[in-house]
Structure 1
Amino acid sequence: GELYLYQYEFNQAEDQFRMVVAMKGDYSGKANKMWQMSQKIVRAMPGTSVGKKVALHEKITRADLAVLLAEELKISTLMKRQTTPASGFQTPQEMRAANTSQGGPSDAKGHWAEVWIKELSGYGILEGAPGQPFYPDNPVNRAEYCMAIQRLLSIVTGDASLETRYFGENPSRFQDVPSSHPAYNAMALCSERGIMQADMMTGRFEPGKPVSGADALLSIRSFQNALRITF
């Protein structure tokens, strides 16, 4: 199963892990964990080689997220279709042109994901303004992931109210996050749109929990579905 998995043969890997789990032997616990991951990847259907690679990461970094949004979401194509002013009376194209002219984040140069980081920072999706650090190797947690998705939704819909719509809800829709949390609105928005959910049994969102590559890919597919509903 692992051989298939790391050769990006995800369907075959899923079948092999399922067989080991069914045997209920000494390796069934580990196989079950790998089976769940391979199932998520199969459902997310990564379409690029770099997307398949990041899908295997247990914890993604900011650079990984930039790669997934650029390659799997095709963010540049998405932005080219959007001509509505998104922020400061700028269209996404105007925003990117203004940011690109100032250069990329200060710590992107020479990084393996430099091209993708510059692309994302150009649209203002992830923090890392021109000349400022991007921190590409820092891990991404669920709250930060939702903040990026919130920014994306705000830009592509041209609806800035999405970034404040759920603040101050009483009671909070999550057992572990007050509505005053800085990322509460983003988490509520992603939950409302079916992009990233709280635990069904506990109602906990776990904002500080790391995001895996498989979960990030699944959320990107959910984001794409949300966009189809929006437009």
Structure 2
Amino acid sequence: MIITDTHTHLYSEAFDDDRHEMIQRAIDENITRFFIPAIDSTYTEAMLQLEKDFPNNVFLMMGLHPTHVKENFKEELKHVEAMLASRKFYAVGEIGIDLYWDKSTLQIQIEAFKHQIALAKHYKLPIVIHCREAFDEIFEVLEDVKHDNLFGIFHCFTGTLEQAHQALSYNMKLGIGGVATFKNGKIDKFLNEIDLKHIVLETDAPYLAPTPYRGKRNESAYLTNVVDKLVDIYGISYQEIAEITTQNSKDVFGI
């Protein structure tokens, strides 16, 4: 049995004291595939080192995170372009729009988002979308650029059932993690109305730890708690959840 964490920041400073042990804890739980989103150029070296340390388990994305779209965003996008041209990545991500922290950068966030979607189309790669308080803005962009060759994952999906169906209409799968285990997470109330073929698992470690670790540092091993929750929601076995969601991740990332 293989479980796939489709979104985990294993290079984060939060893991500097025990990174290898933390990854081994996940592997011991059959979580053996880790897809690593980019944030900005300052993390690239750490991501490449992670891949060297765990070449059979770690798969890298490349992109500019929307909260890091600042005055120098065009320079950062050139770094993304150069990296995508230089070697294999498995997705363009995480990219998108975040209006929780700073609404003043909306226009340059949209510009960076569209630019990176174009890169994904060029390289025939999936996109991994970060959306925080920006569903309308994200959907507006996706409506503008939608195409049969545009596909990917709506990372950390926290929207409504209606928004879930809209995301799926753009060839996106839904990234489901710790929020599904929260008492006020809401998505657990309708997730059984979404076919499991549209779902991939993620932790977003070190963020968004599932119950009973909520508020603490998240790690990829805690994905087992998310699987347990989906067992309750879908009424099928742990192994079936693992197999179906891992196959879904292979369909997206091509590996």
Q: TM-score range by the shorter chain?
A: under 0.3
- The higher radius of gyration belongs to 1
Choose between structure 1 and 2: higher strand proportion: 2
TM-score, normalising length from structure 2?
A: 0.25
